[in-house]
Structure 1
Amino acid sequence: MKSSRLVSILLLLQTRGRMTAAQLAEELEVSVRTVYRDVEALGAAGVPLYGDAGHAGGYRLLDGYRTRLTGLTADEAEALFLAGVPGPAAQLGLGPVLAAAQLKVRAALPAELRAHADRISGRFHLDAPGWYTDAGADEVPYLPAVADAVWNNRILHIAYRRWREPTDVERRVEPYGLVLKAGRWYVVAAPGPRTFRVDQILGITVCDEVFTRPDGFDLAAHWAAYQRGFHEWLHQDRREAVVRLAPGVTLARATPLDGPAEDDDRTVVRVPIESVEHAHGAFLRLGADIEVLEPPELRERIARTVTELAARYGNPPVHGGD
């Protein structure tokens, strides 16, 4: 629609400065002739817009001119206020900035779009972490420092705790970007690049030395590739377990095994596992809906845990005091 295109031209010139008719036409996917007509319409409406001739010419707005129009559609306004980022923004030290930005955008919205935004934020809230994640359990005291280093291309020296021996190590890293995954922050950093959990950083020194970010590095694409590689690594040794599942219970990557049907409609499947340790915790969460048949060491370990739990909960609790 022409009205939407006029707003787009106005916002493009406001944010980018001088642009040629050809550049505007390419951005808006219209003809140069259409841009000429739209520019004339803006001028007739009183917008202080003028054009410079010549090779370095183009259209621009009068210095200091700003518009309160946002160009947002109802759907775009709703999506903006649906973003569930107050918690992560606060962790990054940007909570007040986000609140101020949303307030300014809301004030600039026409009354109808403002009502849409208020309604969507009052009816939907996004909360990424799982139910059993303690909001204060994973402290990330060094997150603002890491974020600042990411933004300013500063080299970091970190003390880091990893899951294998030696657990506590020191690393010199070049932080490329931060990722929030399921309520947990990760920093992608060279050399490698490798991925570090920010809540596992024990100490940090921000260096005066800066690094050069690789041209073309795409954080989202890197993270997607990292996740694919991680899932492949989980099952690279092809360790498997054979389990019996209650009706309606499913497991990812499970393969049903042929055999006589169970009397209670339970199914027997073969499923890849990362390790006995990992499968022990994962299968226990399913309670009586799963029975491990193989490997023997996993079945025995779960049996010991269940026996200990039965002994603990089979006796009345003992309280201290008189």
Structure 2
Amino acid sequence: MNSRPQDKAGQGLVLVTGPSGAGRSTALRALEDLGYEPIDNLPLSLIPRLLDGPPIQRPLALGIDVRNRDFSVAGLIELIDALTARPEVSPEVLFLDCRADELVRRYGETRRRHPLSPEETPSDGVQSEIDLLVPIRARADVLIDTSDLSPHDLKAEVVRWFDRTTGGRLAVSVQSFSYKRGVPRGLDLMFDCRFLRNPHWEEALRPLDGRDPAVAGYVAEDPRFAEFFDRVRDLILFLLPAQVAEGKSHLAIGFGCTGGQHRSIAVAEKMAKELAEAGWQVSKRHRELERRTATAAALQGERA
């Protein structure tokens, strides 16, 4: 990702662009949740007129891709330059990048036609669009590669970059995950819980997860747990004020274990509780539980 420019006064405006299928709709929904007014596929020629109209109370998030009427790379670059020159506008370009093979896979799953190759295979249009957008990608203020991101992950990244609602407070995200499925993107601090005793090997505990008191108690009985937890908590509490002084608005802390079901969840739950009790703004996320829920919902939908 690129470094984000300094915020300046004026009408907030985020131009959301990138290759088709990279997650523009998800990003626009995330920005809407943050208080932005989203408008998708507005013709480029109408954007200056929109800004010349009556004052807009909310920041704008405009979705732009090759399907926009009168779209051209040169036209979009000229628009970015013109908006940047206007002192009353604070434009930022959010470019959602994605690998070609992943875009082809997404088109295959949805069976949609690519806008640049409606009568051909999606791969032809995907590569053509990626090549076409290279100059715009180079102009991005914020670049997010969505190749390996779930919609939830992408939303979290958008929030990380564009949430201005914390009023100077640091928002702390505590996450659990499975190392087998890879480390989540965007973590600032990460701790390995795989050395703790594993409830997976207890038949009665195996189907439960770390939110269950029986599982949490089992993990906490490990002789190494108390010292590990206290040291990590004290380190985090020491670092949080320093992150605020540095100007950060978000801090993501991850706890991982083998399956992401027992130990990492138990530690993340306890840590989130104690940080909240210490006065910090804390949210929780258990990635593998979300994956299981999403898979179960998809299977149920297929049977319906």
Do Structure 1 and Structure 2 share a fold, with TM-score over 0.5?
no
Pick the structure with greater CA Rg: 1
| TM-score calculated relative to the size of structure 2 | 0.25
Greater RCO between the two (CA within 8 Å, min separation 6)?
2
